[in-house]
Structure 1
Amino acid sequence: MTSAPGRRSSTFTRLLRHGFTDPSAAERLLDGPELAAVRNDPVLLEALGATADPDLALLGLVRLLEAQPGATARQELLDTLISAKPLRDRLLGVLGASDALADHLARHPKDWQALVTYEPRDLHPGVEEFERGLAGATDPVALRVAYRRCLLSIAARDVCGTTEIAETAAELADLATATLRAALALAGAAAPEDAALCRLAVIAMGKCGGHELNYVSDVDVVFVGEAANGADEGKALRAATRLASHMMRICSETTVEGSIWPVDANLRPEGRNGPLVRTLASHLAYYQRWAKTWEFQALLKARPVAGDLALGEEYVAALQPLVWQAAERENFVADVQKMRRRVVENIPAAEVDRQLKLGPGGLRDVEFAVQLLQLVHGRADTSLRSGTTLDALKALAAGGYVGRADAAQLDDAYRFLRSLEHRIQLYRLRRTHLVPEDEADLRRLGRSLGLRTDPVTTLTREWRRHTAVVRRLHEKLFYRPLLDAVAQLAPGETRLSAEAARERLVALGYADPAAALRHLEALASGVTRKAAIQRTLLPVLLGWFADSADPDAGLLNFRKVSDALGKTPWYLRLLRDEGAAAENLARVLSAGRLAPDLLMRAPEAVALLGDGDGAGLRPRSRAHLEQEVLAAVRRADNAAQGVTAARGVRRRELFRTAAADIIGSYGTESQPAEADRGALVDLVGDAVSDLTAATLAGTLRAVVREGWGDTLPTRFTIIGMGRFGGHELGYGSDADVLFVHEPREGADEQEASRAAHKVVAEMRRLLQIPSADPPLLVDADLRPEGKSGPLVRTLKSYEAYYRRWSLVWERHALLRAEPVAGDEDLGRRFTELIDPLRYPAGGLDEEAVREIRRLKARMESERLPRGTDPKLHAKLGPGGLSDVEWTVQLLQLRHGAEEPGLRTTRTRQALAAARAAGLVREEDAAILDEAWVLATRVRNAVMLVRGRAGDTFPTQPRELAAVGRYLGYGPGHAGDMLDAYRRTARRARGVMEELFYGGGA
């Protein structure tokens, strides 16, 4: 029947006012025969308008009325609906929030009567009430129907606000408990002989175990079985496994009534690879010997729910002591945080911003933070041992383990996010944690949470606000009370005890918690602006320090830098306002000795860490460095001061390079670890080599200026050799050089020679003056005649020597010769002189090749330090730098004349050219390159960590762990790092033996 235009217009307007988004469709439904008797009743329209989705509620009501078995049943429903407000609110509330429950009511039209009861005892039913509700189910299909009927009553109380989120989640867990018991009873009834053989306990884990279940969630369980009535244990376990499997199928399988939820037993020992049912003794043995940190974390929520409850209680009692010892495990906090990071990393990129549960600032962040604190402090304080997140958070606040204001904010955020999650799942009863993007869905969700004014915008704003709160607090939650423990608190505030603070610091990896607390007190106490900013910064800094191999050193170094710069206004402003600066500083200060030592000598270099785009950490070019060094030398009063100024530039630039290397290797929250390790190696090699060249140029200028004014009586150049000439210097490398001079036209040759020798002697003296800066050792032992030959020669002398006396090893050494400082024309002519020697026409004869091989074998046997494990020596060991470099250099000597690409001083470039020329197979070149990069990074890491050069891995555990962190290995994986190094080196050695000794080169 079509309504009159006037009435239609009036109804249309009223429907819009009551929140209907499709008034035309709503009018048609209201004018239909099902609602003919009540279409004009204002009570109905008001009730529909109060639901999350009035259109959905009206459609669901019509479907329910259509499904009634006759006119009498339909009238009974309408009469009750109009006369009983509790039922009206419950039924329409459910229909407006859940399309899936509307489907259920349409299939089972009498189930609406489950919502009629409104007695006080009905408000918070427990397991027994739900068991009565499921009691009539004699098969899996009937169990599903009964389960949905119980779920209907939970949802009704939820959407009407009769229960709040924690109570709803507890009711869902209790319904799951009753359902597991009913399913196990059905399984036992189907196989009574199995039930007689065994005792089977079902242990709830996860959200079910914690009394905080979602509407749709996997129900995590663990099974414990024992023999009953003297049965054989093997037979009993097989019977228990059949019962457990059947119980899982009853809950998980899809029937005409859908499924209930999957039962997930993958939290059991060994996961899906382990037996489904174990004895209590077997469980205990596994957790005592093999369990990982996350498995103890999972046991926090373990709770017996079905089957043999006495056996279940025995299980919990036996394992609880192990749970509360988990915080004493090595790398405990790091393991938990690593697991959290792995969860986030596995979220598809397109879903991260919509992930309510797993994304940054989501529910899992709250749960992980709370569980971490429970495990650290729960051993001594039994009040913290709740499996329910909000109860545990409340206990943590009461005990002073979490600030009350922080706990209140986190509680509020968690309740909002869980409520949003519930309403998202309730709509179609599907397991999802993604906030929808469709505006209609967002509108329904917002209204369901009571946000009636602009629900889409308000919901989005509130969701983002709560997520931001969680992101800010979930790390701070762990560290903030450490500051409160050493600060003066406001009256009434609960303070973390000294013992609890010590426990927390030890769990974080601090070896000297007493010293750490002293540093915190020095940094954060008082009412100064500096202390206030430090109190803001330290919670996150402590987290970054704890992520390193040496948190104690990170905190101590931060205190030293802050003591040096604390009164400098820009320092605190930099750390407070520049997002990357504080994290970069924390990474650099806790990565080893070299970078902090450099920074302590020039604290103002902290400013380099603050550029948001990373420009401050990009190494400067050789031209810029040389320009700055020469300008500093010009301003100096004498040569010694000039060299001191050059050293100052070197110190700052070494810090810049080391910081870039550390941050690129460790990564930060905003900048993941650099994937191309070779690029970092090249960056360090180029930067340190350029810096060394600029320092030598400045030292040369200082010496010449003081002794001879502007013009030396001889042209003078410095040739870089070895790693220096190859642009491959590490932090601790010596600078191998040759000194070349050529008397100026008209100059006395003897005077020119004396001047050249004096320049070299004075340069070496000035560079060797003791200093707190890293030493720059100039080594000229690769010169003709070695240590017995003159330190400096004329170009003609080099030419005569190389023509008449040069040996194979000297031609070999010249492969990496490159001018680095001094007279550019003289350097170019030296290069022209040596090119025919190092790239000989026709290659090498066989005698020369044999000589190179003999020299290599001799070096391997004679130069390795005694007591060193050769397989872990990055320079001289099998598959180390020497193996790769000699292999590449033999290729250069043999083929450089005809292959222009081989005429480079750089190892990696020469190897790439050899591959491109077909001299090395692509896979072999990749193996050699990987080994060379890894060995170089090991040497760089040792210098960064220990502050002194080394060619093999440290033996001290913390230093070894720090090298591991630099190389990308997390806490507790130093053994994996050593195994990986041996494996890489072994493969490289195999390639080297084929190419170098086997004739392939």
Structure 2
Amino acid sequence: MTAPGRRSSTFTRLLRHGFTDPSAAERLLESGELAPIRNDPVLLDALGATADPDQALLGLVRLAEAQPGPSGQRELLDTLIASKPLRDRLLGVLGASEALGDHLARHPLDWQALVTYEARDLHPGTAEFERGLAEADDPVSLRVAYRRCLLSIAARDVCGTIDVVETAAELADLATATLRAALAVARAAAPEDAALARLAVIAMGKTGGHELNYVSDVDVIFVAESAEGADEQKALRAATRLASHLMRICSETTVEGSIWPVDANLRPEGRNGPLVRTLSSHVAYYQRWAKTWEFQALLKARPVAGDMELGREYADALSPLVWHAAERENFVADVQGMRRRVVANIPAAEIERELKLGPGGLRDVEFAVQMLQLVHGRADTTLRSGTTLDALKALADGGYVGRADAEQLDAAYRFLRSMEHRIQLHKLRRTHLVPEDEADLRRLGRSLGLRTEPVASLTREWRRHAAVVRRLHEKLFYRPLLDAVAQLAPGEARLSAEAARERLTALGYADPAAARRHLEALASGVSRKAAIQRTLLPVLLGWFADSADPDAGLLNFRKVSDALGKTPWYLRLLRDEGAAAENLARVLSAGRLAPDLLLRAPEAVALLGDGTGLEPRGRVQLEQEILAAVNRASGGEAAVTAARGVRRRELFRTAAADIIGSYGTEESPAEADQGALVDLVGGAVSDLTAATLAGTLRAVVRDHWGDELPTRFAVIGMGRFGGHELNYGSDADVLFVHEPREGVDEQEASRAANRVVSEMRRLLQLPSADPPLIVDADLRPEGKSGPLVRTLKSYEAYYRRWSLVWESQALLRAEFVAGDEDLGRRFTELVDPLRYPAGGLGEDAVREIRRLKARMEAERLPRGADPTLHTKLGRGGLSDVEWTVQLLQMRHGAAEPGLRTTRTREALAAARAAGLIGDEEAATLDEAWVLATRVRNAVMLVRGRAGDTFPPDTREMAAVGRYLGYGPGHVGDMLDDYRRTTRRARGVVDQLFYGATER
């Protein structure tokens, strides 16, 4: 046993050399296997230089134990001490890779593959790896030979003999050699199949791009032709058997594990398509059916195995199609949409640890580079490389990317790939997640050369590089464009005018010449304003391009900037306030309404930078502000102008919240409940309308009567107004009621009340920069023929003697909104027995309601309108759902208190809770009502005017789709989903409303 003093000294030495468990290390050093070298100082120094000294020492002991006899053990240890290259390689691998340590323990003579240290060994290519695999004639021996070759790559990697780019290239060359060896095994097993077919293996993804990971699927596409004289169908079946066998050889698990999965899902039609196709079949598919991402994937296509002549024919045939992909409609949006979908599919718990797919990860670099290649590679053949960093260098040399940006991105990509390699090397498992365990992070940091506080240093460097990638991912595509139009960076190559036009066209700009003029106006010059714009515009251009109308987004941004450009807080807000710039970009490019509201009062931009700025304000708060503004104004017109100004700002606030909630932001993708957005808009616009009417009423009374009107006066909201369901362009349906004050003549009171109504309506419709508020009183007794305003007693007499069933139905939405609250309460108490009749509705009344509904459908649907797409009167639309719910309210409202609400969704939920409608039926009606309302809101936001059906204009239709969550090219899906949803709702309506069954 070692003396305590000696033990303490060794313990200290081990700690100093980086061991985390010195006691265990001391025991291993004292084992018999290491007796010849345990006191040699070079051993501890070499172990201390590894990523994980404890793991390296354990691996060395296991390797020594596994040697064939004492002589084999002695040869290993003597060579280890005598040869520094072997010592660094072998211990470096053992310290970095537990999996390769296991391999060496199973195959104890494979360490000899690391002895050679000559120039020809530094950068082997496919031919050298093929020689290393030459004797493998079955899946098991192929796996062993593959791991032996992998061992040599890992040894050069961890010792720094090759850098991360060379490591990835060697891994791709080894994969190529392995595919060739596997195909040879498959051919040998089925020589008759090999004789029938010419089979070529096309490498895709990282294998095709010469940038493979240690552990990754190897993406391939198979192409075949019949051998001379062979039947084509027989040849394809033979080639499919060969390809399938090749995949099994590489993918299946044996006693030696697996090599890697061979993934053929990038083929035409993915896993649903045939595994092997002829060349003509491939070409036909890509010409007719391929999506943008499939051309992007072909950037890295490279023939690697099998019939290389056929492989080259494949590459030659498809290359022209690849380099015209950027001309496809929605090209940039497709590429960006795919990137967003990748991020959206990352589990929330993993997104911050995702090295490859997360924001600021490797995929951000690859997507940005590939998009630039596809746009500019049509004319510039120097950009046509399948290797990311080679393509990035070519982009910088051509002036498509700034040199400083390219250098930063290159460094970040190399660091992130190095992290990825070392994470995978440890267990040889396919993962892109940064580990959470302290020991794993320590080993990872040390493997990258970070020896002082490896965990903290690793985290700091990783976050720094990820931040660079996130910033440059956006900037890469847009900054050279600005340099071109603003004539910046005189020392660097710039995009030509034609290249700038190409890029703007690829971004989706319909008028690239106008876009260039806007960019020139915004970014040219040496002013502070221009400098900040040049910082903002690269990112803003990306957000505009993500919309259905980039031209409108950029034009509107120029208008807002022209209006506010000299205001110090404006550009500072966009530069410094997080989501403000993205929020503005989304709002300016989503349609006409929000930009029109903003451009009438550009200072409302400030709402977009406040964390709570987009939360709608409640009715009480709005009314207080409007009444205060009215009281400060000098006269009635000025007062209502002030009230309408508040209304305009609040409409903008609501529209912006709606748009951003629908589109989402990069930090917060759109996940809002669609019903919640409908309720937000309906409630906010209704509250705002009520507050505006209250302010206008106060202005009229103060202007003509001073403090008090000679009659009590109340405004009753009807229709969607009373139901808290207004949209942006809705009229305000109302009833006016008054009651003479004590001692006031009824005729005088009536004249005063009528004067109030006419003056309110006049003031709210005066020509102005603010949107008008139309007050509609056509739901009053006797309609347009009846008086505009009545006393409470007059209403009571009318409803007692003359009221029709449709009027009772209309009163379901009656709710006090402005004026004398007590009078409003008494009015609603008056009409409650009409709208919620005791004992429910008689069958005559039910038949009358059904007759009115059928007549309305027949007479009011506009000529030529598609009844499956009309949101109000069409099949399963708003009218269908509302009349069904209202029939339930009138039948059962007296008995079910929950039904006594003016709100459609609330009444529907109450009917479900009361068992008057099934859960599935209620959900179907609610979904249709919400969707139809969302479409109406979208049409108003996009066109700036109300509409009850989808717009005919292609770009406007795309904008409606974007608001509803449908990406570019999916307008047809949107219409199909709308028809399907409303068709199901109509089925429920037919059963509940027109059916004979009493519920």
TM-score bracket, shorter-length normalisation: over 0.9
Q: Which amino acid aligns with 1:161?
A: G
Q: Which amino acid aligns with 2:14?
A: L
Counterpart-to-counterpart distance in 2, 1:251 and 1:273: 22
Q: Does 1:724 align with 2:721?
A: yes
Equivalent residue runs for 1:625-644 within 5 Å: 625-644=622-641
2:568 aligns with 569
1:450 aligns with 449
2:971 aligns with 974
Pair 655,116 (structure 1): closer, same or farther in 2 beyond 3 Å: same
Equivalent residue runs for 1:228-239 within 5 Å: 228-239=227-238
2:756 aligns with 759
Q: Does 1:770 align with 2:774?
A: no
Q: Which amino acid aligns with 2:686?
A: S
User: Secondary structure of the residue that 2:485 maps to in structure 1?
Assistant: coil
Counterpart-to-counterpart distance in 2, 1:608 and 1:922: 40
2:614 aligns with 617
User: Secondary structure of the residue that 1:496 maps to in structure 2?
Assistant: coil
1:385 aligns with 384
Q: Which amino acid aligns with 1:392?
A: A
Equivalent residue runs for 1:49-198 within 5 Å: 49-198=48-197
Shift in Å, 1:181: 0.8
CA contact (8 A) 1:580 1:611 kept: no
Q: Which amino acid aligns with 1:458?
A: S
Equivalent residue runs for 1:9-24 within 5 Å: 9-24=8-23
Q: Which amino acid aligns with 2:277?
A: R
Pair 994,24 (structure 1): closer, same or farther in 2 beyond 3 Å: closer
Counterpart-to-counterpart distance in 2, 1:804 and 1:206: 80
Counterpart-to-counterpart distance in 2, 1:700 and 1:980: 44
C-alpha offsets along residues 742-781 of structure 1, whole Å, 9 cap, x if unaligned? Answer: 2222222222222222222222222221223222111111
2:842 aligns with 845
Q: Which moved more, 1:970-979 or 1:566-575?
A: 566-575
Counterpart-to-counterpart distance in 2, 1:71 and 1:983: 78
Equivalent residue runs for 1:283-322 within 5 Å: 283-322=282-321
C-alpha offsets along residues 888-911 of structure 1, whole Å, 9 cap, x if unaligned? Answer: 222222222222222222112222
C-alpha offsets along residues 927-973 of structure 1, whole Å, 9 cap, x if unaligned? Answer: 11111111111111111111111111100011111111111111111
Pair 756,13 (structure 1): closer, same or farther in 2 beyond 3 Å: closer
Counterpart-to-counterpart distance in 1, 2:367 and 2:17: 42
Q: Which amino acid aligns with 1:666?
A: Y
Equivalent residue runs for 1:695-706 within 5 Å: 695-706=692-703
Q: Which amino acid aligns with 1:52?
A: A
1:998 aligns with 995
Q: Which amino acid aligns with 1:856?
A: K
C-alpha offsets along residues 591-640 of structure 1, whole Å, 9 cap, x if unaligned? Answer: 1111111111111111111122xx21122121222222222122222211
Counterpart-to-counterpart distance in 2, 1:763 and 1:440: 74
Counterpart-to-counterpart distance in 1, 2:18 and 2:839: 91
Equivalent residue runs for 1:798-813 within 5 Å: 798-813=795-810
Counterpart-to-counterpart distance in 1, 2:601 and 2:639: 18
Equivalent residue runs for 1:355-374 within 5 Å: 355-374=354-373
Counterpart-to-counterpart distance in 2, 1:99 and 1:910: 64
Aligned residue pair count: 998
Counterpart-to-counterpart distance in 2, 1:833 and 1:691: 26
1:715 aligns with 712
C-alpha offsets along residues 418-442 of structure 1, whole Å, 9 cap, x if unaligned? Answer: 1111111222222222222222222
Pair 675,3 (structure 1): closer, same or farther in 2 beyond 3 Å: same
CA contact (8 A) 2:445 2:455 kept: yes
User: Secondary structure of the residue that 1:865 maps to in structure 2?
Assistant: coil
Counterpart-to-counterpart distance in 2, 1:10 and 1:622: 78
Shift in Å, 1:96: 2.0
Q: Which moved more, 1:542-551 or 1:844-853?
A: 844-853
Shift in Å, 1:174: 0.7
Counterpart-to-counterpart distance in 1, 2:956 and 2:315: 40
Pair 172,857 (structure 1): closer, same or farther in 2 beyond 3 Å: same
Q: Does 1:482 align with 2:445?
A: no
1:514 aligns with 513
1:204 aligns with 203
Counterpart-to-counterpart distance in 1, 2:636 and 2:84: 96
C-alpha offsets along residues 685-725 of structure 1, whole Å, 9 cap, x if unaligned? Answer: 11111111111122222222222222222222222111111
User: Secondary structure of the residue that 2:350 maps to in structure 1?
Assistant: helix
Shift in Å, 1:672: 2.9
User: Please, which runs of 5 or more residues in structure 1 have no aligned partner?
Assistant: none
Counterpart-to-counterpart distance in 2, 1:820 and 1:258: 74
Query: Taking structure 2 as the reference length, what is the TM-score of the superposition?
Result: 0.98
Shift in Å, 1:67: 2.3
1:219 aligns with 218
Q: Does 1:922 align with 2:925?
A: no
2:959 aligns with 962
Pair 11,714 (structure 1): closer, same or farther in 2 beyond 3 Å: closer
Equivalent residue runs for 1:869-888 within 5 Å: 869-888=866-885
1:676 pairs with one of 664, 673, 676: 673
Q: Does 1:667 align with 2:671?
A: no
Pair 893,284 (structure 1): closer, same or farther in 2 beyond 3 Å: same
CA contact (8 A) 1:480 1:539 kept: yes
1:31 aligns with 30
CA contact (8 A) 2:198 2:225 kept: yes
2:421 aligns with 422
Q: Which moved more, 1:815-824 or 1:197-206?
A: 815-824
2:260 aligns with 261
Pair 871,185 (structure 1): closer, same or farther in 2 beyond 3 Å: same
Q: Which amino acid aligns with 1:883?
A: D
Shift in Å, 1:579: 0.9
C-alpha offsets along residues 315-371 of structure 1, whole Å, 9 cap, x if unaligned? Answer: 111111111111122222222222222222222222222221122211111111111
CA contact (8 A) 2:483 2:489 kept: no
Shift in Å, 1:796: 2.0
Q: Which amino acid aligns with 1:444?
A: R
User: Secondary structure of the residue that 2:768 maps to in structure 1?
Assistant: coil
Q: Which amino acid aligns with 2:291?
A: K
Counterpart-to-counterpart distance in 2, 1:104 and 1:749: 103
- For the aligned residues, what is the CA RMSD? 1.6
Q: Which amino acid aligns with 1:872?
A: L
C-alpha offsets along residues 421-468 of structure 1, whole Å, 9 cap, x if unaligned? Answer: 111122222222222222222222222211121222211211121112
User: Secondary structure of the residue that 1:821 maps to in structure 2?
Assistant: strand
1:946 pairs with one of 926, 933, 943: 943
User: Secondary structure of the residue that 2:714 maps to in structure 1?
Assistant: strand
2:463 aligns with 464
1:354 aligns with 353
Q: Which amino acid aligns with 1:257?
A: E
Pair 852,119 (structure 1): closer, same or farther in 2 beyond 3 Å: same
Counterpart-to-counterpart distance in 2, 1:922 and 1:215: 53
Identity of aligned residues (%): 87
CA contact (8 A) 1:524 1:535 kept: yes
Q: Does 1:747 align with 2:744?
A: yes
Shift in Å, 1:382: 0.9
C-alpha offsets along residues 471-519 of structure 1, whole Å, 9 cap, x if unaligned? Answer: 2221222222222222343342121222222222222211111211221
Q: Which amino acid aligns with 1:91?
A: L
Q: Which moved more, 1:73-82 or 1:364-373?
A: 73-82
Counterpart-to-counterpart distance in 2, 1:340 and 1:239: 37
Shift in Å, 1:674: 4.2
Q: Which amino acid aligns with 1:539?
A: P
User: Secondary structure of the residue that 2:299 maps to in structure 1?
Assistant: helix
Pair 825,100 (structure 1): closer, same or farther in 2 beyond 3 Å: closer
Q: Which moved more, 1:484-493 or 1:662-671?
A: 484-493
Q: Which amino acid aligns with 1:518?
A: R
Counterpart-to-counterpart distance in 1, 2:994 and 2:757: 40
User: Please, which runs of 5 or more residues in structure 2 have no aligned partner?
Assistant: none
CA contact (8 A) 1:939 1:951 kept: yes
C-alpha offsets along residues 176-201 of structure 1, whole Å, 9 cap, x if unaligned? Answer: 11111111111111111111111000
2:528 aligns with 529
Q: Which amino acid aligns with 2:545?
A: A
Counterpart-to-counterpart distance in 2, 1:960 and 1:193: 57
Counterpart-to-counterpart distance in 2, 1:886 and 1:547: 39
C-alpha offsets along residues 641-693 of structure 1, whole Å, 9 cap, x if unaligned? Answer: 11111111111111111111111121112233243211211121111111111
C-alpha offsets along residues 563-588 of structure 1, whole Å, 9 cap, x if unaligned? Answer: 11122122222212211211111111
